[in-house]
Structure 1
Amino acid sequence: MLPMHTEPMKQPQPQPSPIKGMEPMEIEDMPELSRWRSRGITLLTVDPYLTEAPDAPKRNPDGLLPTPPPSRWWTKEFFLYFIVCITAIPYMIYVPIRLSYASSNANYDKYARYLVPGWMHGRLRDNSDYQYRAIREYMPILFMLIGVYSIASHCVRICARTATRDPSRHRTLRKVFLCVTGIVCVTALHGVNMPKLLLLALGNYVLLHTAARHCSNNMVTGIVWVYNCAALGFVFYTNGIPYASISPQLAWLDAHAGLLPRWYISYNFSMLRLVSYALDYTRAICGYEPTDTHALCNMNARARVQQHRALDEYGLQNYLLYLSYPPLFIAGPILTYNDFVAQLVHPLRLKLVRVLEYALRCAILLLAMEFILHYMYVNAIKNSRAWEGSTPMELSMIGFWNLIFVWLKLLIPWRIFRLWALLDGVDTPENMIRAMFNNYSGMGFWRSWHKTTLLVFTFVALWHDLSFTLLAWGWLVTFFIAPEVIATYLLPQAKFGNRAWYRHVCAIGGAMNVQTMMTANLVGFVVGLDGIQYIWSQLTGSWAGIGYTA
């Protein structure tokens, strides 16, 4: 036993890396109790990356943290907000539930055909959305596949560590595993359509490397975008280039198209990976600088994305492994090529408790969706247009909860696939951190996905689906962001932030942002242009509607 006066041995501190963004990640050593104490209620918001904490507050020139504003907890203002919340939120839940009972809705017979027997307290279940219906039917198979794949992946890692201490051998075995599982995954999903996807990928690879030898970087970038956008439009308009359209003698092949015969629907995500590889390679041609191994092993998420890889790591083998990575192949989330290779060469250490926390989030989301399907038939009401005679409050709640449904419908598969990648030891970016109703800033809402410009939103709209409805969605979103940009310019926080009225003006602007984001998303993903015109005509066509809207 050490004497009482003996100083404890000091742990060696990690040396800072000279490369920005490559500091050792300390979150792996942060006890879970300390995480809860340091972040409090904000820990309920999911982190963009599992291996990192959110950005630290910016310090002033003296190195001190900015003085936070005084807390309003337990003030009269807080109790006013508290009363509003405990009154309004339960009522917002009660209204769609009441509308879903046959005795409370005169239009019940119009949407009853969409209801099927459920499992919650003898309730019927809304089965009107064909996309989520397919997801729900395949869910047991998907969970079984995730379990088998994760166990096999960890067995390969254990066998590799047992067989040899050479990291290069570990990477070789990992690549063999990814190659085999990737081929099995793509073949099972797309069947005989796999060669079509492979030809498009090889075309992108050959075109990129040929253009890179003869053209400037800007020209290469343009060529890549033109090729991939043209390919995306071509496969969409030809319905995936069926073999019958190539030759009548090949028509029999179309009957063996795998579990997802409409391969061109998920090709949207493959197209983004093709572009990611091309852009990362183009930037690496003129920007690669050798980096020491210690720095490479401790790169944070931003550095993994921005740090160029060695040119020999942009070969065909890594390219195909990246495109066919099973956990993210169907629907993402999109992991950049640089990030994928960085984690392939230097695997991350993901804490099991953090992965289990994320699995719990996924389970809660699934239960929330089941509750909505069993108790709020808002999607069936929307599909059958059974909203005649509804009050302004009922109309707005039909639209609001339809947006919640669409948000969950997108969020659930993305988070399940991300959980699959986390179980495989790959940290992918979180796609949807917040929803449209708990983010007062339109700029902040979209910042996690892409830049908020008209050109980008036009591409994103057409990438989702080549339809006028989604094009209108993209243009509306851009238009609705303009007031926030103007207000931020006219009333900067640095100048007016200390004024008593400033936060109330921000609150009004935030409420308007939520309304406009809901309007744009209702147009794009729920009721379309004609539906939103009807809703707003009811909300503004009478004094009762105007009073409710205000």
Structure 2
Amino acid sequence: MAPNGSRKGGGILSFFRSLYDLDTLDTRFTTPSSVPYNPVALAAAGDGNGKRREDNHSRGGNSGGLDKRASSSDTNRPRWGTPEFFLYYLVFAMVIPYMFWIAYDVSRPSDPRYYKYHRWLSPGWVPGRKIDVSDAQYGNFRRNLPVMALLVLFHPLCRKVWDTVVYRVAAPSQSPLGSGRSSPAGRPPASPEMADARLRQRTSFDFCFAILYLVILHGFSALKILAILGANYQIATVLPKKYIPAATWVFNICTLFANELCDGYRFRNIAMLVSADSSLLARFGAWLDSYGGIQPRWAVLFNITILRLVSFNLDYYWSLDNRGSSPIEKQLDPANLSEKDRVAIPAAPADYSFFNFVGYAIYAPLYLTGPIITFNDYISQQRYKPATIETARTVKYGVRFFLTLLSMELLLHYDYVGAISKANPDWSSYTPAQISLLSYFNLHIIWLKLLLPWRFFRLWSLVDGIDPPENMLRCVSDNYSTLSFWRSWHRSYYRWLLRYIYIPLGGSSFATWRGAARSIVTYLMVFTFVALWHDIKMRMLIWGWLIVFFFLPEILAGYAFPRRRWENRPTAYRMLCGVGGVLNVLMMISANLVGFAVGLDGLEVILRKVLGDYSGLIFITVACSALFVGIQVMFEIRASEARRGINMKC
């Protein structure tokens, strides 16, 4: 019995360890973007971790390869068992429980300020505790989660019925390359005819389900959304080629502002504009407004769709210069393209149809929150099922989502930081430690409330057969670089910005003063769009400009303290980088508190309280020391990844 029990226990432990493997989260983290994912070769590579990732790296590409830091002897020596890191473990053992205790202590009913915010609490499922549901965004997600979970089952079932009743694709006959051998991904070969049939089968369902989905979600407002999509499609396909990019940006940015200023274009207001004297038409418009679906405020949710409208138009525009290109002409297997090729290689001219455009723009699993996928990638994955979608990985991804949801629920049952902030508190009644940790946990709740919808809808997409990018690479507490933080937060949006704004504007280079000035302007333009895309408010513009301002010290420090000058003193350089990382973390916390939590005035009050007396200075000194320890652990996490051939660039 003992041996069996040991094996069983090892199996359970191995399963839970695999839940947090990078492959479970997203294969893009372990396979270079320029290399097709090959599960057969990976399985044959052996251990599933270091060896297979090194093999992936050896096949090409920089995005998943070793970082230059991995070549140094200091990086190649693990530090987990050194006396230095045993000291860090001791710090972790003392500091982390203390942090949770501080937030819990001010969240107890015995706290004298409890009466100010208890109205934001609701009965919870943890015995003896209420739950903080003050955040409307998470509260809405939490209430609708059971219905959405049923939808994850209902949508693929509808697709199965559609496939059976409307389309029946014949069995595959030959590979896309014309030979009878299996594809490199180890899947049955598929002919180009089969791939085209699969594309028609899936996109026809996506189009029909999109119309039904819009009507259920937004009622008669679905007509407004389809009108915007129609206008955007006409810009891409009717205007002369040279006008497409400018017209696309003007139209979509104006749509962002118009959606906000016109409150979703109420039918009654439109009727009054058409005929101010017609009360009958106005009443009819009001009747249409009364049937707004289960999400009447469609304009609030439309920002993510704007990104897909831009993606379609610019992908179509760039395809006009590559009409003759195809994967086969480039001697690539279209059934197993790398992610880079799926994004860069244009779809066939016939694929840029209004029918496919609507199916893409309103693709149900990703419509509300993303993650964002380009039109070219969407069409490629519809034509050939990605090799990265495997049932075992999808199940583990679902379990990981559930554990993240459980973490959020427990945090909201024991730390009422959102409710405290919502109740317009008197911050002067809190100690510097309480203010700082309430702000810190507030950022974690913001991170979790965004992470959960993104992962839920990505899970739905994986179940349906589309593999979009994972939006969150690391925990919000596992970031020490402002530049890397931006790459890892809302990653699919970051990649969208690179493809459609940052690279067309020329990217950045700080090698010369002229290049540095141009790069700063580029960053300001990118983050101005980012801020306005999130919300048309001044505090969001301030947040965007603060992000750019906080980029500069890190960039300048990289030039002032280049790694090559410290090759003989790697430990000293690591400590120096740790100090810089502490400053970065403090700046990132400040910027995100302004943008997403307390605003500029609230940050000013917090800083005045924390830095205004002796006890506050003592606390900030201790906090910076703890951050330094945490950053050293972050360095080692990334060094461990580099030793396995992984560079996530964040």
TM-score bracket, shorter-length normalisation:
0.7 to 0.9
The equivalent position to 1:503 in structure 2, one of 569, 574, 586, is 574
8 Å CA contact retained: 1:58, 1:66? no
8 Å CA contact retained: 1:435, 1:445? no
Match of 2:384 in 1: 346
The equivalent position to 2:65 in structure 1, one of 56, 59, 62, is 56
Matches within 5 A, 1:277-288: 277-288=312-323
TM-score, with structure 1 as normaliser? 0.88
Match of 1:519 in 2: 590
The equivalent position to 2:612 in structure 1, one of 516, 535, 541, is 541
Q: Offset at 1:523?
A: 0.6
Q: Do residues 290 (structure 1) and 326 (structure 2) align?
A: yes
Could you give the per-residue CA deviations for residues 378-428 of structure 1, whole angstroms, max 9, x where no partner exists?
000001133442111110111011101111111111110000000011000
Secondary structure of the corresponding residue to residue 125 of structure 1: strand
Match of 1:210 in 2: 238
Match of 2:534 in 1: 464
* Amino acid aligned to 2:156: S
Partner Cα distance (1:529, 1:301) in 2: 40
User: What is the number of equivalent residue pairs in this alignment?
Assistant: 513
Match of 1:404 in 2: 444
Check 1:549–1:464 CA distance in 2 against 1; reply closer, same or farther (3 A cut). same
Q: Offset at 1:28?
A: 5.7
Q: Offset at 1:152?
A: 3.2
Secondary structure of the corresponding residue to residue 66 of structure 2: coil
Q: Do residues 135 (structure 1) and 171 (structure 2) align?
A: no
Q: Do residues 376 (structure 1) and 415 (structure 2) align?
A: yes
Q: Do residues 73 (structure 1) and 80 (structure 2) align?
A: yes
Partner Cα distance (1:271, 1:27) in 2: 35
Check 1:441–1:158 CA distance in 2 against 1; reply closer, same or farther (3 A cut). farther
Could you give the per-residue CA deviations for residues 320-345 of structure 1, whole angstroms, max 9, x where no partner exists?
11111110011111111110011111
Partner Cα distance (1:59, 1:376) in 2: 41
The equivalent position to 1:151 in structure 2, one of 139, 142, 157, is 157
* Amino acid aligned to 1:81: Y
* Amino acid aligned to 2:416: Y
Secondary structure of the corresponding residue to residue 264 of structure 2: coil
Match of 1:309 in 2: 347
Q: Do residues 266 (structure 1) and 301 (structure 2) align?
A: yes
8 Å CA contact retained: 1:156, 1:174? no
8 Å CA contact retained: 1:457, 1:478? yes
The equivalent position to 1:227 in structure 2, one of 247, 251, 270, is 251
Could you give the per-residue CA deviations for residues 519-546 of structure 1, whole angstroms, max 9, x where no partner exists?
1111111111111111111111111111
Secondary structure of the corresponding residue to residue 452 of structure 2: helix
Partner Cα distance (1:438, 1:101) in 2: 28
Q: Offset at 1:38?
A: 2.3
The equivalent position to 1:426 in structure 2, one of 466, 470, 479, is 466
Match of 2:223 in 1: 195
8 Å CA contact retained: 1:392, 1:544? yes
Matches within 5 A, 1:176-187: 176-187=204-215
Partner Cα distance (1:232, 1:170) in 2: 35
Q: Offset at 1:240?
A: 0.2
* Amino acid aligned to 1:319: F
Partner Cα distance (2:548, 2:249) in 1: 22
Q: Offset at 1:230?
A: 0.5
Match of 2:37 in 1: 25
* Amino acid aligned to 2:606: I
Matches within 5 A, 1:167-182: 167=194, 168-182=196-210
* Amino acid aligned to 2:556: I
* Amino acid aligned to 2:234: V
Secondary structure of the corresponding residue to residue 333 of structure 2: helix
Q: Do residues 299 (structure 1) and 340 (structure 2) align?
A: no
Match of 1:109 in 2: 115
Q: Offset at 1:223?
A: 1.7
Q: Offset at 1:241?
A: 0.3
Partner Cα distance (1:428, 1:541) in 2: 47
Partner Cα distance (1:228, 1:270) in 2: 10
Partner Cα distance (2:405, 2:62) in 1: 26
Q: Which runs of 5+ in 1 are unaligned?
A: 1-19, 43-51
Match of 1:3 in 2: none
Q: Offset at 1:175?
A: 2.4
Identical pairs, percent: 35
What's the C-alpha RMSD, in Å, of the aligned pairs?
Answer: 2.6
Check 1:392–1:430 CA distance in 2 against 1; reply closer, same or farther (3 A cut). same
Partner Cα distance (2:589, 2:161) in 1: 46
Q: Do residues 479 (structure 1) and 479 (structure 2) align?
A: no
Check 1:537–1:32 CA distance in 2 against 1; reply closer, same or farther (3 A cut). farther
Q: Which runs of 5+ in 2 are unaligned?
A: 1-31, 54-60, 173-192, 272-281, 499-521, 622-650
Check 1:96–1:301 CA distance in 2 against 1; reply closer, same or farther (3 A cut). same
Could you give the per-residue CA deviations for residues 429-458 of structure 1, whole angstroms, max 9, x where no partner exists?
111212442111111111232468111111
Secondary structure of the corresponding residue to residue 149 of structure 1: helix
Segment of structure 1 superposing worse, 277-286 or 386-395: 386-395
Q: Offset at 1:23?
A: 4.4
Structure having greater relative contact order (Cα 8 Å, sep ≥ 6): 2
